[in-house]
Structure formats: structure tokens, C-alpha cells
Amino acid sequence: MGRVILFTALEGTGGNSLANRNFINPLGERLFSLVDIKDVIKGNIQKHSIVLPVMTQRNYTGIPGLLLILFQSFLPLAIFTILMRLHRITIIARGTLSGFLLSIFPWSNYKLVLPGIYSLEALVYGENNSYVNRIIEKRAIKNAKRVFVLGNNIKRYLKDEYGVDSEVVYIPAEPYPVNKKFKKFTPVHLGTIPDEKTLHSIIAVFKHIKKVIKESKPLILSQFLREDFKRELERTGIEVISMNYEELKNFLPSCHVGLVMEGDNPLSAYLITTKFIDYISAGLPVIVHKGMDELCRIVKEYNLGVCVAPVSIGNDILMEVKRLIQEEMRIRSISRRLFSKERFRDKILSNLT
């Protein structure tokens, strides 16, 4: 047996999932996953993985939900962690819930890759178990052999809140083909919209772009969008397109600029979003909400776009964006350098003993 196995819990692991794109595919190792039965039915699972299906209730972060998951998975996880220990195999876990489940078994030997701050994400998405979520987060982090985070602000957060040192490793990027740009100026927002503030920030920026650049066509590319958000976007003349990842790979490089507007919630200062990685991998400059401190630092350091207050975006900012569109190859090269799969893999898999 090899020295490494990956572990995920309660998220889909199929080819288009974030777990697959940002964790499984770059590391290229074997996977054991605890998967909601709904994802199993949908086929949202990695084909060549070992899958433990479980039934969950909708809000599985509360105590009743966790007890239900533990009841179903305790024995299989105990056997799994014992076998890994006996064979001296390091478990690399993605996410706080994965780390928490492994932490229950004191003999488990796991590294933890955190895609975000679990306790703050719960607040953003309206969950009311902040005390429980912090306990889960603390236990997962403190019992890990090593912890990897996606930015310096998260690194400081873990040190301040839990006294834990961590290592920064950026999300790995997928390469995008080089395509001809659309004739109409096409600003785009990729992925889900978490809250109304983000929605209104997107609309404000798109409205200003349409006012200044008459021949423009703002787009939302998302497979999962609240129906009320979709209706409001369509009322303002913003088209919403559902697109899977394979379709996106050929479509996104033809757009002109990407928006990242999650700047008005408790997570804002810590986020380096997947959509940002996708934009610059496709050679697009970005317009980023100025409240996203960590992301704005990268954008300014490497001249990848502009950071703005959505309600006060000026014509000069759009002129700067149009200039950066001509620097597609430079933006792509920065993406390959900062967010390479090789760098991600080498850092995560180093020092396994």
C-alpha cells in the first residue's frame, strides 16, 4: 500500500465538484469519502474511490445532525483509521468536518487542508450553530498533524483564535484554452451568489458597465442560483446561464472581465475564491470588492485587476480594466506560477513521516 490516502466528508466528489478540481485531481491519490446518499444517487462521486454512504438531515452541522452521522459512520471510520495507522499511511483530509470526524480517533494520523473558515461560513449561509461550529473547527484543527490554509489572513485567524500554526498553499488552477473574445464586451460573474448584499453589488457594477459601454452583455454563469435572485437579475437585463465545468472551459476565455463581489460578509477579508482562480487562469482581469482584503492584496501586487466599492465604480476604473484585457498572456502566466498543481501537490505531500 502507498503512504497517502485522501479523505473527504459530506461533499460531492464527482468530476465537476470543487473537491475533485481543487483537491482530488491535483493530488492524484486514492480517496476514501463519507458521502451523503443524495450525492451517491446523483452520481456525484469519484468513480475510483471507496465510498461510505450516509443519510443526513439538511442542517448536519448541529448536534442532532452530527450524532446521526457519527452513529452511521463510527465503526467504518474506526476500522479505516486503525488500518491506516497500522500501514503507516498518512490521511490527507479536506475540510473541517473531515478533520473533526478523524479527530475522534486519537490514533488517526491526518493532515488537514482547509478551503475556508468553517465557523464563519456557517454564519454567512444562515446557520445558527456558531458555538457548536467553533468546537468542531477547533478540534479538527488542533488534532491535525499539519494544517494547510488558502491565504495569509486565514493563517493569522487560526493563530489568533486557536493558537495553531498553519501553512499557506493556494488553490491549484486548471488551464484554460485561448479563445477569441466575444464581439460584445462581456463581464461575467461565475458561480453561486451567497447573499443579497453580494447580489446587489453585482447588479451595481453591471449597471455601471452597461451605462459606460453600451455594447456590453453582462452574464451570470451558475448552475445553482436562488430563484428569487435569478428573477431579480433577469428584471435588470442580466442574463443567467447554467453551465457545467466542461462547457465553461471553452466559454470563459471569450469573456472580458470577471467579478468577485462577496465583500460584505464575515468571510470577506479571508476569501480567495475559486472563481478568481478560474478568471485569471482564463486570462481575464478582475473587478474585486474592496472589502476582500486577502484577494485585493494579490490583485494589486500582480496587477490583475481593480478593487472597488461597487456603488462608486468610475469610468477610469473601466478604462484600466480594458487596458488589462490586452495583457491576457501575462495574467495567464501569473496564474500558472502562483496556482500551479505542482506547487500544491509538492507542499501537501512533503514530509509525510
Expressed as residue numbers, the domain containing 326 is: 187-338
Of 350, 178, 336, 321, the closest CA to residue 256 belongs to: 321
Give a yes or no: residue 315 inside a domain: yes
Chain mean position to CA 98: 16
Give a yes or no: residue 344 inside a domain: no
Give a yes or no: residue 179 inside a domain: no
Residues 193 and 132 in one domain: no
Give a yes or no: residue 215 inside a domain: yes
Residues 161 and 192 in one domain: no
Residues 191 and 241 in one domain: yes
d(CA 96, CA 103) in angstroms, rounded, equals: 10
* CATH label of the domain that carries residue 90: 3.40.50.2000
Residues 129 and 37 in one domain: yes
Residues 197 and 305 in one domain: yes
Is 310 in contact with 261 (CB distance < 8 Å)? yes
Contacts of 124 (CB under 8 A, 6+ apart): 194, 195, 265, 266, 267
Residues 155 and 206 in one domain: no
Domain end among 142, 169, 196? 169
Q: Is the dihedral of CA 194, 190, 330, 309 positive or negative?
A: negative
Residues 220 and 163 in one domain: no
Residue whose grid cell is 448541529: 62
Of 297, 280, 296, the closest CA to residue 331 belongs to: 280
Instruction: Specify the number of domains making up the chain.
Output: 2
**Secondary structure element (H or E) that encloses residue 83, with its range:** helix 63-86
d(CA 82, CA 207) in angstroms, rounded, equals: 57
**Secondary structure element (H or E) that encloses residue 253, with its range:** none
User: Model-level pTM greater than 0.85?
Assistant: yes
Give a yes or no: residue 254 inside a domain: yes
Residues 201 and 323 in one domain: yes
d(CA 230, CA 235) in angstroms, rounded, equals: 9
Write the DSSP symbol of residue 269: G
Residues 163 and 26 in one domain: yes
Domain end among 169, 196, 225? 169
pLDDT tens, position by position, for the chain (353 residues)?
Answer: 458 999 999 898 998 888 998 999 999 889 999 998 888 998 999 988 999 998 876 555 567 778 888 889 999 999 999 999 999 999 999 999 999 999 999 999 899 999 888 877 766 555 556 778 888 899 999 999 999 999 899 999 999 999 999 999 998 988 899 999 999 999 999 998 888 889 999 999 999 998 888 889 999 999 888 899 999 998 998 999 998 888 999 999 999 999 999 877 777 778 788 899 999 999 999 999 998 888 999 999 999 999 988 877 777 788 888 899 999 999 999 999 999 999 999 999 987 65
